[in-house]
Amino acid sequence: MIANEGLKPFLPYSSRLAAIDYIVCDESDVFVTNNNGNMAKILAGRRRYMGHKRTVRPNAKKLSALLMARDKMDWDTFSKKVKISQRGFMGEPDEMRPGRGEFHEYPYSCICQKPLNDVETSRSRVQVGESYGENQRMGQKNVRKPPVSLGDNDDKLTG
């Protein structure tokens, strides 16, 4: 943490303070969101994409009810109920199914990291679709584009 004197030059600049906040939250081992705003979602997405770091999202509805009733239960009961209410909100790896949530909070892995058999499946789909569909709409029949290199293994893909 920066002491008060260290922060003094940044105080007149809200965007610089926001940048410091972003960096600290991104670099932390655990990030607990206090809202469901864009910055929290973008940070959560970056933390997932760059390698898993726990991002805890408090379940506000359930926690609010528990906090209101905390005087009516002992610590062990309260603790157990908090853990139950937070299930699925504690930032476990792969807690969200693909295709759910917003793209900047739950980014897909890089296409380059797909297993080779996924590339083989894509290759057959591209060759079948390319030979007739798109080219026919342009008035061209059975016109193929030159092969495109996939990279290191020098496999060819019609592109």
The pLDDT tens digits of the residues spanning 134-148 come to: 444 444 444 445 555
Q: For strands 54-56 and 30-32, give the pairing.
A: parallel
Q: What percent of the chain has pLDDT over 90?
A: 19
Is the pLDDT reported for residue 107 higher than 80? no
Per-residue pLDDT at 98: 56
State the distance between the two ends of the chain, measured CA to CA, in whole angstroms.
51
Q: Tell me the average pLDDT across 41-70.
A: 86
Give the model's confidence band at 117: pLDDT under 50 very low, under 70 low, under 90 confident, else very high.
Answer: low
Give the model's confidence band at 129: pLDDT under 50 very low, under 70 low, under 90 confident, else very high.
Answer: very low
Give the model's confidence band at 73: pLDDT under 50 very low, under 70 low, under 90 confident, else very high.
Answer: very high
Per-residue pLDDT at 55: 84
> CB–CB of 77/83 below 8 Å?
no
> CB–CB of 41/104 below 8 Å?
yes
Give the model's confidence band at 76: pLDDT under 50 very low, under 70 low, under 90 confident, else very high.
Answer: very high
Average pLDDT, the chain: 71
- Specify the higher pLDDT residue, 93 or 59: 59
> CB–CB of 59/89 below 8 Å?
yes
